[in-house]
Amino acid sequence: MTKITVRELRKEDIPELSRIEAESFSMPWSAAAFGELLTRPYCTYLTALADGRVAGCCGYTDSLHEANIDNVVVASEYRNRGIAQIMLAKLLERGAASGVESYVLEVRVSNLPAIHIYEKLGFRSVGIRPRFYEKPVEDARIMKRER
């Protein structure tokens, strides 16, 4: 059985995370964007490992105790094994320990697996941001969770 572990995002994870981003998003984060996260104390990012191999990441930017979850991704070959849910549960634990009072995120309205996970973790829809995404243009569902 695959062993899943979650720890802080490290510099050495970035090449593989950039590859996972590129296969997962039409507007992926670059390696430089990941590198900048590591210099920002108000960003909390976690990497999930499957049998020690980088399988995905998630994280938030904290602004006055409201955490914006700005990236959640799992490599296609590791999807549907619960990794995103494990990783996000750890992220919420981390937020609780650092005094985060609420979480907010945007998700494409068509992204049913992601919406399913967020609802399971206690996020609720609070609105729609029309035409928020590009490539392709699509509305965002805004979801929130109180601590």
The whole-angstrom separation of Cα 36 and Cα 65 is: 21
Q: Is omega for the bond preceding 136 within 30 degrees of 0, making it cis?
A: yes
Task: Identify the residue among 15, 35, 113, 122 touching ligand COA (CB under 6 A).
Answer: 113
- Going from the C-alpha of 27 to that of each of 22, 93, 115, the distances in angstroms are 8, 29, 19
Per CB under 6 A, 57 contacts ligand COA: no
Candidates 10-18, 33-41, 70-78, 126-134: pick the segment binding ligand COA (CB under 6 A). 70-78
Element (H, E) at 137: none
Partner residues linked to 127 by β-bridges: 142
If one asks whether residue 140 binds ligand COA (CB under 6 A), the answer comes out as: no
Q: Does 111 bind ligand COA (CB under 6 A)?
A: yes
Amino acid at 107: V
**Footprint (CB under 6 A) of ligand COA, residues 27-46:** none
Nearer CB in complex with ligand COA: 18/85: 85
For ligand COA, the closer CB: 38 or 79: 79
> Per CB under 6 A, does 80 bind ligand COA?
yes
- Closest-CA residue to 117 (of 65, 58, 66): 58
Q: How many distinct helices (H) and strands (E) make up the chain?
A: 4, 7
Residues near ligand COA, by CB under 6 A = 24, 72-74, 79-85, 107, 111-114, 116-117, 120
